[in-house]
Structure formats: structure tokens, C-alpha cells
Amino acid sequence: MQKKTPATGKPRVYTAFGHPLFPVYATKPINELVEIAGGVSINREENFTESKNAEYTVEELNRLDPEVILVSGMFNPTDSDFTATCRDLGVHCRALDTGRVYILNGRSRGRYRQLGTWSHGCGKLPPSGPFPLLP
């Protein structure tokens, strides 16, 4: 059974480290920023740790069904390459179906976004809402 969006209406966000099956560990700051920006960090929810989740399986990622995927790391692929890798591996989730894959600290053709733009000043949310990347 796939997890549904919480009743709060906050999008469920999965953060990956350069590859779809490499989760960013729960203790990393990006997961806190996701929550400050108004999302639910799947990585924190699932308590990804180095010893337990060095790599994820396609089945596990499909079960989580993230609405948004953020990709961080030094040498990230473009969003289209990341999406193609997901499809080649057999990953199926709402983030891919709706094009809500965002590359952080890297290049992306036409859709580059920085997490820092999602919130401004002391955790206040921008006028467009907690996740302006969502329609």
C-alpha cells in the first residue's frame, strides 16, 4: 500500500544523493530545510541511516511514492538524466509522473531551483505558499 499525503496537505519529499537509490541520511540539514519549507521529509520519516540505508531498492522507493524528489550532491545529473535513470531502474512515483524532480547544487536544463528560495528570512514562507514548486 502506498503512503498517502498527510492530512496536513504537505508534500512528501524524498532527498537523494546524486542517484535515485542513494538516500540522503535523516540527520543531514537538507531534510530539516524540507520541513522548514513546508514539506514532509520522507528521509526523516523513515529514519534513513548510513548503517541501515546505504542504498535503497526500487521496490522501497516505489512504496514510499514521493511527491517531490530533491537531488543533492557535488556532481549531479540533470533533472532529465535523473528521471531517465529512475525510469530505467523501474522507479514509479508521483514525483516522476508530475515532473517534480529538482536538482540542487548542480545543473539542470531550464528547471534549476535552489532550496534556499523556498523560504526566506527566519523560516517564513514565500507568498506563493510552502512549496511554490508545486502548482
The pLDDT value recorded for residue 123 is: 40
Query: Is 53:27 a contact under the CB 8 Å cutoff?
Result: no
In the predicted model, residues of the chain with pLDDT beneath 70 are: 1-8, 53, 105-135
| Beta-ladder partners of 40 | 12
Instruction: Give domain 12-118's CATH superfamily.
Output: Nitrogenase molybdenum iron protein domain (3.40.50.1980)
Distance CA 133, CA 126 (A): 11
Average pLDDT of the chain to the nearest whole number: 78
Contacts of residue 46, defined as CB under 8 A and 6 or more positions apart, other chains included, come to 23, 26, 53, 64
Distance CA 58, CA 13 (A): 16
Q: What is the pTM (predicted TM-score) of this model?
A: 0.74
Closest CA to 111 of 73, 74, 83, 75: 83
Closest CA to 71 of 47, 102, 116: 102
The pLDDT value recorded for residue 11 is: 96
The structural domains of the chain, with segments of one domain joined by +, span 12-118
The pLDDT value recorded for residue 48 is: 84
Strands (E), 1-135: 12-17, 40-41, 68-72, 101-103
